[in-house]
Amino acid sequence: MAEPDLSDIQRRMDGAIEALRREFAGLRTGRASASLLEPLTVGAYGGDMPMTQVGTISVPEPRMITVQVWDRSLVGAVEKAIRESDLGLNPSTDGQLVRVPIPALSEERRAELAKVAHRYAEQARVAVRNVRRDGMEMLKRMEKDHEISKDEHHTWGETIQEMTDAHVKKVDETLAQKEAEIMQV
């Protein structure tokens, strides 16, 4: 009898967790982090380019991010991209260096960021559940094609459900960790 490809299901669920971690890296806490600006795109050379491809992002001190822009003509575009992002940051320019001070978060802003974190976590849970649904449909198809028996379908279904539960738990743990980080004064 054939076996379902559980490694693919595992890989896709792990991918959902990684995507959540990347989303959380872009969520601002009270500390400066280069990953805060990495997801931003800059209008450059007739298209949109990632911030990392127009300059070097660094964190010289805990409440400051700097972007050393390589092309002088893009300094204004980088400043505009940072200002128009929903991060609530106000950059200032010094030649080809864009300084981005990180203000302390207000209680209201912390609550907003926590809501955004919850939204990201729910998207990750949905992604994990979609992978589970695909896995269950694969089992039904395999049973219908007589590749596996009903008992094997049930056993593999339980295995996929356990994987799903473990990944949803990881999402919840990651959310709790990020929420604690956001609410920390």
Domain count, the chain: 2
Assign 90 to helix, strand or coil: coil
Residue whose C-alpha is closest to residue 95's, from 117, 76, 119: 76
If one counts every other C-beta atom within 10 angstroms of the C-beta of residue 114, the result is: 17
Same domain, 10 and 74: no
CATH number at residue 86: 3.30.1360.40
Quick: pLDDT tens for 150-173. 999 999 999 999 999 999 999 999
Residue type, 71: D
The pLDDT value given to residue 33: 77
Give the largest Cα separation in the chain, rounded: 70
Quick: pLDDT tens for 93-116. 888 898 988 877 778 878 888 888
Q: Does the predicted model carry a pTM greater than 0.85? A: no
> Is 1 a domain residue?
no
> Is 167 a domain residue?
yes
For residues 80 and 34, give the distance between their C-alpha atoms in angstroms, rounded to a whole number. Answer: 17
Identify the helix (H) or strand (E) that includes residue 48. strand 47-50
Assign 58 to helix, strand or coil: strand
Quick: pLDDT tens for 129-146. 999 999 999 999 999 999
- The residue to which tokens 């030649």 are assigned: 95
> Is 147 a domain residue?
yes
Domain around 47: 31-101
pLDDT for 30 beyond 70: no
pLDDT for 123 beyond 80: yes
